[in-house]
Structure 1
């Protein structure tokens, strides 16, 4: 009798898991065609994001699916996705919807401020822990419930950008950002986000920085002085 050996599992990559490749391609589109508003700094950031994505695609990056996890705010995800399908960045929203069942929603803080645990969560799409394994960039999405206030915080050594996929938000009460808008936060920039009261907000984000800053980033809120 011949012993039957177990089949070797196929390596999961952005080519063998095409929904993740399409997600990366849509991120490239976001950072290729959204305007920089005449800002050389924003244009440079957009270029570096595209270059990092191109490296992931070229090397056929590994996909390591994280354990699926939800948070209370993900009850608003379907509405946010549906609203995004009718907005200006619908292709990116459809690509996100295709991987939604595999997302691992997190808080990112050891101690979540009172009330925020019901109104916020993020899910990484590419980073050191996956799902798309990346060393020099972090890509993800963040979901806010209607009326959420995300307290003031800053990121050490990290350049951050948000692209609004659905909903409307304000940063530092300095302007209103709607689908198709980009928010740019240089390193150490203190920022606070407020969300419209009638709809959730779904934002794509990209973090760029030195590897040690990306790997060891600690999410800390800053108390607002009275």
Structure 2
């Protein structure tokens, strides 16, 4: 069953609308057991050529298996900076990697943190369309196994504190100064699955008009301040 908890929101024509003038605490979670992807913008590959993802729900998990690399799915309508983000993640079993997209502003400005069996937990940063910076924190990951990735994001300091399966991996210092944007999922080399997604932030604002970020399509005009989906 779905349940939405709303604070200072106005319901308009089946959309939840909030003012973008103030920042408020939010919690968004999705276990995908309801069989739909309400509250998500299901996107495309970061890379060239840019192709649409094949995001869908199968057996209570969100999967993406379109051929390609670096696909994104973003929580719809929320700009966040400091945040905690976590999910159960199964990367594609052959050379796959998967995790989170942070501070997504447009295809030229974003940061991703992801599980990469072999190298460990890696971070990619793109600033103003410049070539990606790619760094990894060594950590043993069992291939073909679901791991829970958690990242505590401090937008003021730029520090990303990373844990896997409740074990601390390390801290990464982000160089990207654009430390606000949309957050969500990241699928490398396609074929990943995601479950039990959670995002919390003490300061979130409604995203600008959809066309300004080339996002949001026909989804929520702007999301509730507090929205939680439960089984």
TM-score by length of 2: 0.29
TM-score by length of 1: 0.30
More helix by percentage: 1
More strand by percentage: 2
